[in-house]
Amino acid sequence: MSNEDPFPSPVGGVPMASDFGTSIFFSLLYLSLIPIFVSRLYNKHSRVIVSINAIITTIERVIIFSLRAWQSRNSAERISPTLTTYMQVTIALPYIVIAHDVVALLRCLYVNSTKGSAGFTDPHDSPVAPSMSSSMHPLSPLHSPSIHLSDEIHIHDDPKKRFFYRWFTDVLKLAFLAATIPGIIGNAHYRGGMDNASTANEVMITRYLSSGIALFLILFVAALVVRARRLPKVEPIHITLLLSILACNASSAIFRLLFMYHRTTSLTSIAPGSGNTPLEKATFYIFHMLSDWLAVALLLVPNIRAIFKTGMWGDWRAVDPPSQEQEWARRRKEVKARRSGLIV
């Protein structure tokens, strides 16, 4: 498809014949993470919903790379405006929602740091307070850590600070909508931008707004992660994992900001700036698709539940549960732990 008026070049270009092998490779790469998620879901010690966006991204990427492999062998579908628009939307959003998941994990770090040495026990399986010794860091999919109550650190309980951290991270999560909504709007209108110069300009602006705001938020969250090093119960593995994920997210955002000013007159153009040159395709796969995969893998491969003390649902409460409810839950979990022979 060609047009006299230039329109924003598609991020990642369109799948040419040379993209077939790469598309199959990335489809299998993302597919390889699904069994890990299944094993996490099966094991009650690693079952967690906090990183649900990671598995959604994984399934979505298997689909789009399968479609790209099909398009690379079908010249008619290669220039399909509908498929191109779908690709632009699905490629644009995952790094933002993964960064949103990092905020959920960061919240667990901050909230757990305010809990006393006994902490409180949430009957609905929100994070708990006991710290984890370095020998307990669970990186294998089926690891089942034991609980060492003797490793707890005596820390003053601070419910006011805990409330503030929860409120602040809730606001921060909402702030990501400022990047997500323009990303959806701009890329969903990509089809219209191919035929209308005004719409093309809107697509250009909204895509830049989305990636620019996302990069700012990613860097802001990274600063909060670095600050968390001083908090009680925070260990190097927490900081390393979160910063590694954010670095992958930042890579995707920076790549988009550096590329999206390009325009083209044809989806199949191989001119510089079209997204279809070998160099542009290579940078797209390395700094956007591979970095997205690494971010997802860092959320699915380690036992996030045990490392960050997330419980199954993460820290979803706005306030602490009532004291009687906490006491009941604590006793129930202690009985369970004794029966399983976990208390040393």
DSSP 95-131: HHHHHHHHHHHHHHHHHHTTS-SS----TT-------
The whole-angstrom separation of Cα 99 and Cα 299 is: 11
Query: Can you say how many angstroms the Cα of residue 58 is from the centroid of all Cα atoms in its chain?
Result: 10
Termini Cα distance of the chain: 68
Does residue 253 carry a pLDDT above 60?
yes
Dmax (CA) for the chain in angstroms is: 74
Q: What's the average model confidence in pLDDT over 71-78?
A: 91
Residue 136 is classified by DSSP as: G
Q: How confident is the model at residue 325 (pLDDT cuts 50, 70, 90)?
A: low
* Average pLDDT score over residue span 127-133: 43
pLDDT at 32 over 80: yes
The DSSP 8-state label assigned to residue 142 in this structure reads T
Give the mean model confidence (pLDDT) for residues 26-39: 95
| pLDDT (tens digit per residue) in 187-233 | 999 999 999 999 999 999 999 999 999 999 999 999 999 999 999 98
pLDDT for 60-69, tens place per residue?
A: 999 999 999 9
Instruction: Give the angle 82-207-80 at the CA atoms, nearest 5°.
Output: 15
What is the residue-wise DSSP string for 309-338? T-TTT-S--SSPPPHHHHHHHHHHHHHHHH
156 confidence band (pLDDT: 50, 70, 90): confident
Query: What tokens were used for 156?
Result: 């003053």
Which residues lie across from 266 on neighbouring strands? 2
Residue 284, pLDDT > 50, answer yes
Q: What is the pLDDT of residue 342?
A: 52
Q: Alpha-carbon Rg of the chain, whole angstroms?
A: 23
Contacts 24+ apart (CB under 8 A), 326-331: 326/120, 326/121, 326/122, 326/123, 327/121, 328/123, 329/121, 329/122, 329/123, 330/118, 330/120, 330/121
171 CB-contact burial (10 Å; exposed 0-12 / middle 13-18 / buried 19+) = exposed
Of the candidates 246, 239, 224, 236, the residue with the CA atom closest to the CA atom of residue 291: 246
pLDDT of residue 140: 43
pLDDT at residue 155 in the model: 67
> How far is residue 66's CA from residue 85's CA, in Å, rounded to a whole number?
16
Report the C-alpha gap between 163 and 141 in whole angstroms: 33
**What pLDDT score was predicted for residue 331?**
72
Confidence at 321, pLDDT banded by 50, 70, 90: low
Distance in angstroms (rounded) separating the CA atoms of residues 130 and 151: 8
Say which residues have a Cβ less than 8 Å from residue 76's Cβ, sequence separation at least 6: none
Q: Which residue has the higher pLDDT, 241 or 119?
A: 241
pLDDT of residue 123: 46
DSSP letter assigned to residue 277: S
Three-state SS at 265:
strand
**pTM (two decimals):** 0.84
Calculate the average pLDDT of the chain: 86
Give the rounded percent of residues in the chain with a pLDDT score beyond 90.
66
Confidence band of 318 (pLDDT split at 50, 70, 90) = low
**Which percentage of the chain shows pLDDT scores above 70?**
81
Phi then psi dihedrals of residue 249, to 5 deg:
-60, -45
322: confidence class by pLDDT, cuts 50, 70, 90: low
Question: At residue 144, does pLDDT exceed 80?
Answer: no
Looking at residue 127, its pLDDT comes to 56
Q: How much is the pLDDT for 109?
A: 93
More confident residue, 289 or 158: 289
